[in-house]
Amino acid sequence: MSRQTVFLAWQDKARTRRWFPIGRLNFASDGSCEFRYIQGAKDAEMNAGFKPLLAFPDVGAIYHSPELFPLFQNRIMNRNRDDFAEYLEQMDLSGDPTPLEILSVDGGQRETDHFEVFPLLVCDNEGRFSCRFFLHGWRHVAECAQKRLANSIQPNDPLQVAIELTNPKTKIGLQIQTMDYCMIGWAPRYLAYDLSNALKQYDEKPEDTEIKVVNVNHDAPMHQRYLIEFKGRFNQYRPMQSAEFKDFSNGNVTHELEEL
Same domain, 247 and 227: no
Are 37 and 84 contained in the same domain? yes
CA atoms of 153 and 73, how far apart (whole Å) = 32
Name the pTM for this structure. 0.84
Residues 146 and 231 placed together within one structural domain of the fold: yes
Does 103 share its domain with 141? no
Specify whether 114 is located in the same domain as 159: no
d(CA 260, CA 83): 25
Distance of CA 127 to the CA centre of its chain: 20
Q: What is the pLDDT of residues 2-21, one digit of tens each?
A: 458 999 999 888 887 788 99
Residues 6 or more apart whose CB falls under 8 angstroms from that of 258 comprise none
Strands (E) in 150-225, as ranges, are 158-167, 171-178, 183-186, 210-216
What is the span of the domain harbouring residue 169? 123-237
Question: What pLDDT does 22 receive?
Answer: 95
250-255: long-range contacts (C-beta < 8 A, 24 or more apart)? 250/60, 251/62, 252/60, 253/58, 253/60, 253/61, 253/62, 254/61, 254/62, 254/63, 254/64, 255/58, 255/61, 255/62, 255/63, 255/64
Q: Do residues 2 and 110 both lie within one domain? A: yes
The pLDDT value recorded for residue 41 is: 95
Q: How do residues 132-154 score in pLDDT, each as one tens digit?
A: 999 999 999 999 999 999 999 99
Work out the mean pLDDT of the chain and round it to a whole number. Answer: 87
CATH of the domain at 144: 3.30.70.2330
* Structure letter (DSSP) for residue 122: -
Q: At 227, is the pLDDT very low, low, confident or very high (cuts 50, 70, 90)?
A: very high
pLDDT class of 168 with cuts at 50, 70, 90? low
Residue 87 shares a structural domain with residue 162: no
Does pLDDT of 203 surpass 80?
Answer: no
> What pLDDT sits at residue 259?
45
Q: Provide the 10 A C-beta neighbour count for residue 71.
A: 18
Measured CA angle at 194 (ends 155, 29), to 5 deg: 75
My answer on whether 93 and 130 are in the same domain is no
User: Are 223 and 258 members of one domain?
Assistant: no
Reported as type and span, the H/E element at residue 70 is helix 70-73
Overall number of domains in the chain = 2
Both 174 and 212 in one domain: the answer is: yes
**pLDDT score, position 1:** 37
Q: Are 227 and 134 in contact (CB under 8 A)?
A: yes
Verify that 88 and 164 share a domain, yes or no: no
Same domain, 112 and 5: yes
Question: Percent of the chain scored above 70 by pLDDT?
Answer: 90
Phi-psi region of 171 (alpha: psi -120 to 50; beta: other; left: phi over 0): left
